Amino acid sequence: MRCPYCRHADSRVVDSREAEDGQIIRRRRSCPECGRRFTTVEEAVLAVVKRSGVTEPFSRTKIVAGVRKACQGRPVDEDAIALLAQKVEETVRARGSAEIPSHEVGLAILEPLRHLDEVAYLRFASVYRSFDSLGDFEREIASLRAQSSGQSSGQSGGPVSKTNGYVAAANGSAG
Ligand SMILES: [Zn+2]
C-alpha cells in the first residue's frame, strides 16, 4: 500500500483489528520512508446488480430507508428496522456471492418484514413486486392469512414452516 503522504511505494502493517463483527478489518500502517502512519480498511465487496445491469455497493442504509418508508405510521421502532437490515445483510452475504441481483435483496427484505409488520410488508411488496391491481393485493393478503392461521393452529413453528417450504417447492416444480 502506497504511503498517502510521501507516495512511497510500500508500507508496513503495524496493527490489524476486526471491526463491525468481523465485517471489516482496519490496518494501521507505517511508512518506512517518512515514518508517518495511516489506516486502511479492508472489506469484502458486495455488489447489488440492478435490473438495468448497473451495479452499486450493497448499502444497509438503503435497506433501512426503504423499510422505514414502508413502516411509516406503523408501530415499528428504529431498532427493529436496524435489526431487520442487519438480518438482510447477513442473508445476502451468506449466499457467498460477490454480486447479488437486486430482486434477491428485495426477497431477503420481504421475509423478515412479514414477521415485523404485515401492513408494512404489503406496502413494500406492492412496490417491490409492482402490484397493479386489487387482485394482486387480495392474493397477497390471502397468502398472509393462510400463513398466519397455519402458525396459530400448529404451536411448533419449526415443522410447520418446513411443511410449507416443501409444499411451495413441490408447487414450484410442478408449475
Ligand atoms: Zn511516507
* pTM exceeds 0.75, yes or no: no
Distance of alpha carbon 19 from the chain centroid: 19
Residue 169 per-residue DSSP state: H
Ligand 1 is an ion; its neighbours by CB within 5 Å are 3, 5-6, 8, 31, 33-34
Name residue 26's beta-bridge partners. 17, 41
Q: What is the pLDDT of residue 24?
A: 84
Element (H or E) spanning 88, and its range?
Answer: helix 78-94
Cα of 15 from ligand 1 centre, angstroms? 17
Distance of alpha carbon 130 from the chain centroid: 20
Cα of 71 from ligand 1 centre, angstroms? 49
Between β-strands 47-49 and 99-101, what pairing exists: parallel, antiparallel or unpaired? parallel
Q: What residues in the chain have per-residue pLDDT under 70? A: 150-175
Cα of 14 from ligand 1 centre, angstroms? 14
Cα of 37 from ligand 1 centre, angstroms? 8
Cα of 39 from ligand 1 centre, angstroms? 13
Cα of 154 from ligand 1 centre, angstroms? 66
| Distance from C-alpha of 21 to C-alpha of 83, rounded to nearest angstrom | 14
Residue indicated by cell numbers 503522504 = 5
Q: What is the pLDDT of residue 150?
A: 66
Q: What is the pLDDT of residue 156?
A: 41
CA of 145: how far to CAs of 51, 135, 140, 164, 166, in Å? 31, 15, 9, 14, 19
Cα of 8 from ligand 1 centre, angstroms? 5
Give the DSSP letter string of 96-162.
--SEEEHHHHHHHHHHHHHHH-HHHHHHHHHHHTT--SHHHHHHHHHHHHHHHHHHHH-S-HHHHHH
Under 8 Å CB-to-CB from 23, ≥6 apart: which residues? 43, 44
Q: What is the pLDDT of residue 109?
A: 95
Q: What is the pLDDT of residue 151?
A: 61
Cα of 17 from ligand 1 centre, angstroms? 22
**For residues 145 and 114, is the Cβ–Cβ distance under 8 A?**
no
Cα of 11 from ligand 1 centre, angstroms? 8
Under 8 Å CB-to-CB from 7, ≥6 apart: which residues? none
Q: What is the pLDDT of residue 152?
A: 52
